[in-house]
Amino acid sequence: MSMREMKKTLRTRLAAVALALATLAGLAPVDAQMGGPALVKVAVASVKDIAPVTMVPGTVVSRHDARLSAEVEGRLIMVAEVGTVVVTGDPVATVEDIALRLLNAELKAQVTRSEANLRFLENEEQRYARLAESNLTAVTQLDQTRSDRDVARGDLEVAQARLQQNEHQLARTAIRAPFDGVVVERLMMPGERVMDGATVIRLVDQQSLEVIARAPLDYFPFVQQGLLLDLRAGEQPALGRVRTVVAVGDENTHQFELRLDIEGQTFPVGQTVRVSIPTSGSRQVLTVPRDALVLRPEGQSVFVVDGNNQARQVSVTVGVGQGEDIEILGEVAPGDRVVIRGNERLQPGQAVDIMDS
């Protein structure tokens, strides 16, 4: 046999083997085609009370957002840089205090002088009192000394009060953070002269966040304190719990205000979000976790695991959602096990191994 004939015979045999393997593969079960059972995590479809919702705009704000003002007049010698992180009590700006410190020294001297004068008059009053007992001095002299002593006591109290006022002003030359936060704006710069009450700096707590939203008054009966609502910032989901509902509508917009604490998520202050507001009373619907939904070109579906641990793909229609759950309509019954992890590449009829929760 020539070399050419040998090569031709070899190609023919290889083609036959390939055809036989392809035939066997076509007859192999789905599990063999998929490489064995798929490892999945399941949840149970259940009936829950869910209310229809509508989306309203909201804004993320800080519960501690303050514009700090000067409490004494003077020249600014320090203003914290934007971005400075501070804790409660840290100085964020200081006012020059030279004049106040000089006044403080003067007032302390006045207190010392008043104390000395009072001690002298108290000793004089005691001496005149002993002389009066022996009729060695006039009663009027004793009365005059007592009067001078009382005036000196009042002068001392005035001097002490003025000293305390001065020390209070000295303490106010440092503008201190009333809460933990970050400096986000400098409204005045070092070297500028500041007046009492002028705003110097803006401080924001980026940890204590909440969402402020407004909704039509028609939906007010369906929003209660403690209700957990869906939030969405772009494609980023989150949850918010209603902390306060302001039961006063605006006469122009006919809306009420609600404030929500953000749970398990952080957003920048000023972030716009959409808030899902219930528009009617709740109703009982069949729900599954959102992760059970499979989005493919042919539509939405879920995989139900039967008693033989095989996956059955069921087409569904999606209804209202609440939190991590969503309503579905289709051939799914309460108590059915639906795949929530590992369903991305799962095929109909494929066997599954269920992982522990």
- Structural domains of the chain in order of their starting residue, each with its CATH number: 30-51+284-354 (2.40.420.20), 53-63+208-281 (2.40.30.170), 72-96+173-206 (2.40.50.100), 97-172 (1.10.287)
List % helix, strand, coil for the chain (3-state, nearest 5): 30, 40, 30
Is residue 32 exposed (0-12), middle (13-18) or buried (19+ Cβ within 10 Å)?
exposed
**What is the structure's pLDDT at 7?**
47
**What is the structure's pLDDT at 302?**
94
**What is the structure's pLDDT at 13?**
57
Per residue in 249-304, pLDDT (tens digit) is 767 788 999 999 998 778 899 999 999 998 887 788 999 999 999 988 888 999 99
**Which pairing describes strands 311-322 and 299-305: parallel, antiparallel, or unpaired?**
antiparallel
**What is the structure's pLDDT at 134?**
73
For residue 88, the SS3 value is: coil
**What is the structure's pLDDT at 215?**
93
What are the CA-CA distances from residue 351 to residues 38, 40, 44, 172, 306 (Å)? Answer: 6, 10, 18, 74, 10
**What is the structure's pLDDT at 9?**
53
Per residue in 35-53, pLDDT (tens digit) is 578 899 999 999 988 878 8
In the chain, which stretches have pLDDT less than 50? 1, 7, 10, 14-34
Prediction pTM value: 0.62
* Pure H helices in the chain: 3-27, 30-34, 98-133, 139-171
